[in-house]
Homo-oligomer: A and B are copies of this chain.
Amino acid sequence: MDQLTLTNPVFVTYAIAAAIMVLKIMLQGWITVARMMANDAGLASPEDLKPGPANRNPRPEQLAPNDDVDRSRRIHRNDLENIPAFLAIGLLFVAIAPPLAAAQWLMYGFVVARLLHTFAYSTAQRHEVRAIFYTVGSLIVIAMAVWVLAAAIPLL
C-alpha cells in the first residue's frame, strides 16, 4: 500500500507538522532581522555599514556582537540541529505505516516541544526549562529513528 499520499492520515499528520516546522525555521530568520533593526546592531558583514535604506546611520559598533540578535541566531542554530532531522525521519516514519495515534503524538509533540523551546529561549527562561523542551524534541526524533530501523533492518 502506498503511504506517501494525502489519502493516508499519517501522511497528512506529517505534512501539517513538517509545514509548521518549516515556517518556524523561516520565521526565526525574520526575527533575527527584526532584532537587528530594533537594536540597530548585530550586523554580520563589513559591507553592511554602507549607508542606504537598510542602514541610514552606519557606525562601526553595529558590527559588534549584540546579545539580542545573537540569541535569535542561537535559537535558529538549535532549530537547525533538530528540525531537518525531524523532517527526514518523519517522512520515513510515515513510510513504515505506524499507528495513526503514535504518529500524531510524536509529530505534534515534536512541534509543541520545539515551539515551547523557542519561547523559553526567547524569554531567557532558566536553563532547565529550555533543556526539558529540547529533551522532549530530541527523544521524539530518536524514537522515530529507532522505530524506522526496527522496521527496515528485518527487510534487508
Contact = CB atoms under 8 A, between A and B. Distances in A.
A61 interface: no
Interface residues of A, number: 68
Interface of A is mostly: helix
B92 A19 contact: yes
Contact of A3 (B5, B96, B145): B5
A56 to B, nearest CB: 12
Copies of this subunit: 3
A74 B47 CA distance: 13
A34 interface: no
A102 interface: no
Interface in A42-97: 43-48, 50, 52-55, 67, 71, 74, 76, 80-85, 87-89, 91-92, 95-96
